[in-house]
């Protein structure tokens, strides 16, 4: 009786997929690897991913069920896919696509207790790696996240597939990955815990790799630098989240992202683009506390963002016509009681968030 309680009470560190397969043209091997789970797989993918990867399953000996293409990780899609699992009884779930599709596939597998294989088709997020799914409402606004009990059983990183994605997706992935340093150093930089120290230091290394190689990578898709940056965004960013655990994950940059998803005008921008802007807001909040280092970090980032094409202002996020009332609403959402913004080591008010959001490109000596 107490066994169940004990198991549930133990904190689980989900660091990495059990197996990571990386290379060019490796996706053709996927059906062979699926055979270890049985002979029937359910593929959950987005519209584009279905088209790009359909040929890989044509000559498979396995029964491959293709779920209807999805675009969002919503309760509605999750319920539809759980029903499909009940009907079809697959032995493994394969998620192929961007972050929202992979989050959906991981969560369905978790809920149905099936093995999960992830195939990221863009460099936009580390969702193919992590034991976390973000759920959005039917309108695309962030709703809640779910911690899964393990990272995927297998992850396929095929550079030939990822290189077909729009360039903007990797730029966005860089924005999401570089946030690891700004968020983990502020929430966990003074931790004494070995694994957390390691995670924060890896986040610093990740930031430096991105500073050094991103511009070259974006200019030369499928070059060595491009592959290193894909590895940084898709794999290392996920490893840092796994090693550091929940405390090391998200702080104000993601809280700002989550709030931004509540404005429909931002739905044309990608996750990492909103997060990148959120880092600038977070640094402004730190500057308001008199932190001059935050001001120079922000200016270093502004230069980097301009070089690779990440947004620096509300206007860049499609919010040039935003009203004061909408911004106040955003700031209120960012400061809700359960928001990750409260992982900052100081108290943040909605009026400070508002002031930070409109001053992301302020000169270095500006103070509030």
Binding site residues, Zn ion, CB under 5 A: 176
Q: Which of 103, 145, 153, 257 is catalytic?
A: 257
Closest CB 250 distance from Zn ion, rounded Å: 7
Q: Which of 176, 262, 316, 340 is catalytic?
A: 176
Q: Is 271 a catalytic residue?
A: yes
Closest CB 296 distance from Zn ion, rounded Å: 24
Query: What residues form DSSP beta bridges with 120?
Result: 97
Which residue, 153 or 176, is less far from Zn ion as judged by CB? 176
d(CA 368, CA 362): 10
Q: Is 160 a catalytic residue?
A: no
Q: Is 3 a catalytic residue?
A: no
Closest CB 322 distance from Zn ion, rounded Å: 22
Which residue, 176 or 202, is less far from Zn ion as judged by CB? 176
d(CA 113, CA 103): 15
Q: Is 176 a catalytic residue?
A: yes
Which residue, 42 or 178, is less far from Zn ion as judged by CB? 178
CB 177 within 8 A of CB 232: yes
Closest CB 176 distance from Zn ion, rounded Å: 4
Query: What residues form DSSP beta bridges with 94?
Result: 43, 117
CB 240 within 8 A of CB 248: yes
Alpha helices in the chain (DSSP H): 2-9, 30-34, 47-53, 75-88, 99-112, 159-162, 167-188, 194-219, 224-230, 237-244, 252-260, 271-288, 292-308, 324-334, 350-357
Which residue, 176 or 286, is less far from Zn ion as judged by CB? 176
Q: Please, which residues have CB within 8 angstroms of residue 29's CB and are 6 or more apart in sequence?
A: 21
Which active-site residues does the annotation give?
176, 254, 257, 271
């Amino acid at each position: 009786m107490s066994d169940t309680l004990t198991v549930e009470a133990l904190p689980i560190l989900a660091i990495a997929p059990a197996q990571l397969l990386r290379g060019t043209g490796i996706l053709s091997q996927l059906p062979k690897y699926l055979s270890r789970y049985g002979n029937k797989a359910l593929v959950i993918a987005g519209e584009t991913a279905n088209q790009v990867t359909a040929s890989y399953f044509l000559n498979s000996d396995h029964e491959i069920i293709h779920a209807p293409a999805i675009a969002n990780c919503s309760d509605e899609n999750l319920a539809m896919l759980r029903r499909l699992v009940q009907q079809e009884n697959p032995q493994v779930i394969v998620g192929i696509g961007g972050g929202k599709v992979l989050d959906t596939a991981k969560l369905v597998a978790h809920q149905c207790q099936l093995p999960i294989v992830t195939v990221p088709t863009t460099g936009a997020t580390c969702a193919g790696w992590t034991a976390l799914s973000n759920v959005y409402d039917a309108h695309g606004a962030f709703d809640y996240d779910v911690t899964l009990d393990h990272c995927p059983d297998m992850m396929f990183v095929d550079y030939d597939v990822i290189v077909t994605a729009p360039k903007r997706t990797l730029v966005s992935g860089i924005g999401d990955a570089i946030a690891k340093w700004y968020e983990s150093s502020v929430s966990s930089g003074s931790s004494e815990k070995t694994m957390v120290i390691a995670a924060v230091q890896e986040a610093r290394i990740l930031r430096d790799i991105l500073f050094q190689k991103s511009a070259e990578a974006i200019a030369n898709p499928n070059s060595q630098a491009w592959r290193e940056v894909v590895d940084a965004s898709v794999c290392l960013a996920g490893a840092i989240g796994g090693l550091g655990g929940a405390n090391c994950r998200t702080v104000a940059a993601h809280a700002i992202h989550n709030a931004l998803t509540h404005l429909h005008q931002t739905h044309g921008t990608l996750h990492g683009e909103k997060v990148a802007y959120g880092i600038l807001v977070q640094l402004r909040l730190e500057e308001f506390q008199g932190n001059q280092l935050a001001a120079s970090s922000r200016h270093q980032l502004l230069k980097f963002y301009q070089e690779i094409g990440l947004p620096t202002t509300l206007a860049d996020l499609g919010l040039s016509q935003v009203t004061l009332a909408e911004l106040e609403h955003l700031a209120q959402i960012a400061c809700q009681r359960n928001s990750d913004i409260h992982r900052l080591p100081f108290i943040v008010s909605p009026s400070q968030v508002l002031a930070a959001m409109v001053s992301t490109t302020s000169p270095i000596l500006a103070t509030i």
